[in-house]
Amino acid sequence: MLYAILCYHDEDFVGSWSKEQDAAVMKKLAAVQEKLASQGRLGPVARLLPTTAATTLRKENPPLVLDGPYAETKEQLLGFYLVDCQNLDEALETAKELGAANPGGAYEIRPVGMFAPGGAVK
């Protein structure tokens, strides 16, 4: 089953990492991703730009455009993975591995109901 691992973290904190700290975390995460890819379990991965770059469209009539992220939270949605896992246990194991490479914050693990790989975007 395909799981989305949604990454939440305090973006002030992540933004306070030095270039070296950021690179070190990304390198460790890349190692986990490589392992998942070699097992044929890794789907799309995204790291999102800061929530200051976000815009929210409220689907009212007429639609309302708001600056900023949808939810004002202490920790923000900063990225996501799609990973193929046999069950929740395996998904949690994978999330723990990613978490060991990038401590702090939280992962929300959500089973995926429908997935269209797209493919046109490089």
Partner 1 sequence: MSETDAAWIDAALTSARPQAVGALLRYFRNLDTAEEAFQNASLRALKSWPQNGPPRDPAAWLIMVGRNAGIDEARRTRRQQPLPEDDQAISDLDDAESEIAERLDGSHYRDDILRLMFICCHPDLPPTQQIALALRIVSGLSVKQIARAFLVSEAAMEQRITRAKARVAGANVPFETPGAVERSERLAAVAAMIYLIFNEGYSASGDTAEIRTRLSEEAIRLARLLLRLFPGEPEIMGLTALLLLQHARADARFDAQGDLILLDDQDRTLWNQKLIAEGLALIDKAMRHRRSGTYQIQAAIAALHARAARPEDTDWQQIDLLYGALEVVQPSPVVTLNRAVAVSKVRGPQAALDMIEPLAPRLSNYFHFFGVRGAFLMQLDRNEEARVAFDRAIALANTSAEAAHIRMHLDRLMRDSKPPGKKAGT
DSSP 8-class letter at 39: T
Give the residue with the Cβ less far from partner 1, 3 or 76.
76
Contacting partner 1 within 1-40 (CB under 8 A): 10-13, 15-18, 21, 24-25
Residue 70 binds partner 1 (CB under 8 A): no
The count of residues in the chain is 122
What distance in Å separates the CA atoms of residue 53 and residue 95, rounded to the nearest whole number? 26
Which window, 32-40, 52-60, 89-97, 113-121, contacts partner 1 (CB under 8 A)? 52-60
Closer of 21 and 87 to partner 1 (Cβ): 21
Smaller CB separation from partner 1, 20 or 60: 20
* Residues in contact with 27: Cβ distance below 8 Å, sequence separation at least 6, in sequence order: none
Q: Decide if 9 contacts 76 (C-beta within 8 A).
A: yes
